[in-house]
Amino acid sequence: MATSHNRLPSKTLTPLTLQDIWIAKKRIASFVKTTPLLYSERLSRESETTAYLKLESLQETGSFKLRGAANKILSLSEEERQKGVTTFSTGNHGLAVAYVARQLGVKAHICISNRVPFNKVRKLQEMGAVVQRVGQNQDDAESYCYNLRDEEGMTVIKPFDDPDIIAGQGTIALELLDELPDIDTCVIPLSGGGLLSGVALGLKAANPNIQVIGVSMVRAAVMYESIRANRPVVIPEETTLADSLLGGIGPDNRYTFSMVKDYVDDIVLLSEEEIARGMSFLFRHHQIGVEGAAATAVSVLLHKKTRKIGLRTAAIVSGCNVDADRLLEIISTHKDDEDDG
Ligand SMILES: *Cc1c(COP(=O)(O)O)cnc(C)c1O
C-alpha cells in the first residue's frame, strides 16, 4: 500500500492483464450498460477536485456486480452451463448471478442461511433463481454450494476472488478512461476487493500514476486489517449502513488480497455518520438514491478523508439496493450545513 507512484501493474502475481479486461468488455457487451459519468459541481466545490460520479447504481441489477457475474458465466463451457451455477451471496452478487443465469437459460441455485430475511429471498426468486435455505449462517450456505459442485457438477460463482470476476469489474476502468482520459484519482468502495483489483489494474495499465483510493467502513474493515497483518484475517461482522461491504476475504484468498495490496495507494475508513452523509448528499444534490456501500466514495471526497486526491477524480457509486424507508429516514436526519441555515 502507498509506496512508489511509478510501479507497473505487471508486478502483481496474478495472471491478469489489461487484455483480459478488453476480452471481458467484448464478452459482456450485450448484458451490461455503459453507465453515465456525472460531473458533480457541488462535490467538486466541497472537495477541491473536479469530481465525477460513476453511476454503477444504474446497472440492471442495481450494482456493478453484473459485470463480473456476466463475464464469469459467459466464459463457462456449454457442458458447465448445462449443469448450472451456484453461489452463496445474499446481496448484489447473488442478484447478478441469478439475472445472468436466467438470461442465458442456465439453472442458478443461490444458497443462503435460514437467517436471511424473506424480502431478500423474494428478490432472488423474482430474478428466477432457486433459493436453497441451509443452516444458520453464511458458512453453512457456502459449504452447501460446494456440495452442489461435488454432487451435481454445478459451478460455484465466487463473489470476488476469481480472475473472470475481477476482469469483469475492471471494464469500469475502460469506460472511465474513455470519458475522462486525464483522470488522476479513483475512489473505490472496498470489501473483498474484486472491484478495486479490476478497476486499478485497468487504470494503472493506462497510467501507473493514477491514484487508487479504497474505502471501507470502520466497522469490520477486513481487507484493511488483512493488509496491515499481511495475511487474511477474520473479523466479526457488525451492523453497518454499508452492508454490501461486509464479509471476509477468505483464508485461501488467491488474487484480490495481493492485487489490492499492490495497487491501492490509500485506504480510508469511514464512520457510520460519514456514510449516512454521503447517502444524503447524493439524494439531496443529485436525486440519486443509493445504498451505504455505494455512498462511501462520495463520503471520502465530501469529508476530505485523504490527501491523495488529484485534479480529476471519479468516485464509483457502486449500487442502489437499499430499503426505501431506511434511505428516507437517513435523508431526513442528515441535512447539509448550508440547508440547516
Ligand atoms: C460487492 C459490493 C462492493 C464491494 O466489492 P468487492 O469486489 O467485494 O470489493 C461495493 N459496493 C457494492 C454496492 C457492492 O455490492
Residues 298-309: pLDDT tens digits?
999 999 999 899
Grid cell in block for residue 117? 430475511
Length of the chain equals 341
pTM over 0.85, yes/no: yes
pLDDT grade for 337, boundaries at 50, 70 and 90:
low
Question: Would you tell me how many other CB atoms lie within 10 Å of the CB of residue 94?
Answer: 28
Q: Do residues 301 and 43 touch, judged by C-beta distance below 8 A?
A: yes
Q: H helices of 209-255, where?
A: 222-229
pLDDT greater than 90 at residue 162: yes
- Atom from ligand 1 closest to the CA of residue 189: 10
Q: How far is the C-alpha of 34 from the C-alpha of 26, rounded, in Å?
A: 12
Count of alpha carbons within 13 angstroms of residue 157, beta-carbon side: 39
- Residues forming a β-bridge with 111: 132
Q: Which of 73, 213, 99 is nearest to 155 (CA)?
A: 73
% the chain with pLDDT above 90: 82
| Tens of pLDDT, residues 234-275 | 988 888 999 999 888 998 999 999 999 999 999 999 999 999
Q: Which atom of ligand 1 is nearest to the CA of 194?
A: 7
- Banded model confidence at residue 13, pLDDT cuts 50, 70, 90: low
Residue with the larger pLDDT of the pair 4 and 199:
199
What is the predicted pLDDT for the residue at 14? 60
- The fraction of the chain above a pLDDT of 70, given in percent, is 94
Q: What digits encode the pLDDT tens for the residues 140-155?
A: 889 999 999 999 999 9
pLDDT for res 220:
83
Asked if pLDDT for residue 329 goes beyond 70, the answer is: yes
Q: Report the pocket of ligand 1 as residue ranges, CB < 6 Å.
A: 63, 65, 91-92, 160, 189-196, 244-245, 291, 293-294, 318-319
What nine digits make up the cell of 38?
456525472
What's the confidence (pLDDT) of residue 12?
Answer: 46
Query: Looking at the DSSP assignment, which residues form a beta bridge with residue 315?
Result: 53, 187
Instruction: Say yes or no to pLDDT of 103 above 70.
Output: yes
Active site residues: 65, 318
pLDDT at 199 over 60: yes
**Which residue's entry shows cell 440547516?**
340
Residue pair 192/223 in contact by the 8 Å Cβ criterion: yes
In this model, does residue 310 exceed pLDDT 50? yes
- Using the structure block, give the residue that is written with the C-alpha cell 502475481: 13
At 121 the pLDDT is 87
Res 338: pLDDT:
54
Read off the pLDDT of each residue in 185-211 and give the average, rounded to a whole number.
Answer: 98
pLDDT of residue 247: 87
Residue with cell 454450494: 145
- Kindly state the cell numbers that stand for 332: 431526513
Is 70 exceeded by the pLDDT of residue 123? Answer: yes
Residue 274, C-alpha cell as written in the block: 460519514
Helices (H), the chain: 18-28, 41-47, 65-74, 78-83, 92-104, 118-126, 138-152, 163-179, 194-206, 222-229, 256-263, 272-286, 292-302, 324-333, 337-340
pLDDT at residue 4 is higher than 80? no
Question: Could you give the CA distance from residue 57 to residue 320 in angstroms, rounded to a whole number?
Answer: 5
pLDDT at 118: 82
Confidence of residue 340 (pLDDT cuts 50, 70, 90): very low
**Distance from the alpha carbon of residue 190 to the mean position of ligand 1, in angstroms:** 6
Tell me how crowded residue 36 is: count the other CB atoms within 10 A of its CB.
14
Q: Determine whether 309 is exposed, middle or buried from the number of CB atoms within 10 Å of its CB (0-12, 13-18, 19+).
A: buried
- DSSP string covering 176-191: HHHH-TT--EEEEE-S
- What is the four-CA torsion angle of 163, 169, 171, 174, rounded to 10 degrees? -110
181 Cα: distance to centroid of ligand 1 (angstroms): 25
CA angle 264, 194, 171 (to 5 degrees): 95
Distance CA 3, CA 262 (A): 9
Secondary structure percentages of the chain, helix, strand, coil, to 5? 50, 15, 35
Is the confidence at residue 8, as pLDDT, over 70?
A: no
- Ligand 1 atom index nearest CA of 92: 15
Ligand 1 geometric centre to CA of 320 (Å)? 11
Q: Rg for the chain (alpha carbons), in Å?
A: 19
Please, what's the largest Cα pairwise distance for the chain?
63
* Dist. CA 159 → ligand 1 center (Å): 9
Question: Per-residue pLDDT averaged across 116-141, rounded?
Answer: 86
Q: Which residue has the higher pLDDT, 302 or 112?
A: 302
